Amino acid sequence: MTILVIAEHNNAVLAAATLNTVAAAKAIGGDIHVLVAGAGCAAIGEAAAKIEGVSKVLVADDAAYANQLPENVAPLVADLAKQYSHVLAAATTNGKNFLPRVAAQLDVDQISEIIAVESPDTFKRPIYAGNAIATVQSSAPVKVITVRTTGFDAVNAEGGSAAIEQITGPGDAGKSAFVGEELAKSDRPELAGAKIVVSGGRGMQNGDNFKYLYSLADKLGAAVGASRAAVDAGFVPNDMQVGQTGKIVAPQLYIAVGISGAIQHLAGMKDSKVIVAINKDEEAPIFQVADYGLVGDLFEIVPELERLV
């Protein structure tokens, strides 16, 4: 059994999500190979070779793979996949984008966002916004899987010494082109991997008031998230959204400020180790999942909290 893990990266840095995906591959068992598809990505290949437990790294360095356009990447992965028992990618927006295309090219079903490995063909995954956990078994010759990164502890980024092999793929399919991107800039830790997350909802009232959360987050070394209400109201950009349709987080500590706790928000954070809710409405559903709840005005509580931690 040999497993192919597709590396998540931006041509400069190997994303931490790759380490969680390798952890899922380890749980399945077998040889683990990593594919790095990109442009000018030699350094990523070297970083991937150092990941604990990886035996081989394939590097496909081609301008066609620079932005991981699925029309170009999927044929490359589908070609390779036939030699593997499993193909895994992190359930990031990138993994979710190209991997189902790979599965369809191979004519197999995909298993999305697994949170546990029961055996090499049986996996657990959440459905209905995390309100039910399905155990699914696949009889496909190649199991194509995306991995929910919060379900698996990252493996060591150091300690491995895999062989690196350069490969070539079919290149540019000529169907799509990258035009540009606007990335949110932040010095805070990445939301999906942060140990502490401070999130604000509609109760923050406006975007300016998020400064209270940024300030608290900086003191705690935390990332800042938001509910859909805060994003829709334009308080913060949508890449901060935590929930069924945003990011899934499972930090050590999740502090929900002015968030009522709708089903769709809980789907994104209820696997956090400790949940703190700060809300003036003591009937808010968030208190039903919070380990520690504090009823009161967030504009008094948050600055005091910042002072005391």
Partner 1 sequence: MKVLVAVKRVVDYNVKVRVKADNSGVDLANVKMSMNPFCEIAVEEAVRLKEKGVASEIVVVSIGPTAAQEQLRTALALGADRAVLVESADELNSLAVAKLLKAVVDKEQPQLVILGKQAIDSDNNQTGQMLGALTGYAQGTFASKVEVSGDKVNVTREIDGGLQTVALNLPAIVTTDLRLNEPRYASLPNIMKAKKKPLEVVTPDALGVATSSTLKTLKVEAPAARSAGIKVKSVAELVEKLKNEAKVI
Enumerate the known binding-site residues.
202, 227-228, 241-245, 258-265, 279
Q: Residue 252: phi, psi to the nearest 5?
A: -65, -40
130 binds partner 1 (CB under 8 A): yes
Q: Which of 135, 156, 166, 206 binds partner 1 (CB under 8 A)?
A: 135
257-262-265 Cα angle (round to 5): 70
Q: How far is the CB of 56 from partner 1 (least distance, A)?
A: 26
Question: How far from 143 is each of 26, 123, 234, 262, CA to CA, in Å?
Answer: 15, 11, 40, 34
Residues 207-226 that bind partner 1 (CB under 8 A): 220
Single-letter code of the amino acid located at 84: Y
Of 42, 51, 40, the C-alpha closest to 5 is 51
Residues 28-57 that bind partner 1 (CB under 8 A): none
Of residues 165 and 190, the one with the C-beta less far from partner 1: 190
79 binds partner 1 (CB under 8 A): no
Applying CB under 8 A, which part among 31-39, 43-51, 64-72, 205-213 lies near partner 1? 64-72
Q: How far is the CB of 201 from partner 1 (least distance, A)?
A: 16
Structure tokens at 116: 């546990």
12 binds partner 1 (CB under 8 A): no
Residues 106-125 that bind partner 1 (CB under 8 A): 107-113, 122
Instruction: Please report how many Cα atoms fall inside a 13 Å half-sphere around the Cα of residue 220, on the Cβ side.
Output: 27
| Cβ atoms of 77 and 94 closer than 8 Å | no
Of residues 86 and 270, the one with the C-beta less far from partner 1: 270
Q: Which of 1, 159, 237, 281 binds partner 1 (CB under 8 A)?
A: 237
Query: What is the CA 31 to chain-centroid distance, rounded?
Result: 23
Residues 188-207 that bind partner 1 (CB under 8 A): 192, 196
Structure tokens at 87: 């193909």
Beta strand pairing call for 116-119 and 110-114: unpaired
Which residues sit in the known binding site for FAD?
202, 227-228, 241-245, 258-265, 279
Of residues 33 and 228, the one with the C-beta less far from partner 1: 228
CB atoms within 10 A of CB 118: 13
Q: How far is the CB of 166 from partner 1 (least distance, A)?
A: 26
What span, in angstroms and rounded, lies between the C-alpha atoms of 261 and 267?
Answer: 10
Binding map of partner 1 across residues 239-268, x = CB under 8 A, - = no contact: x----xx-x----xx---------xx----
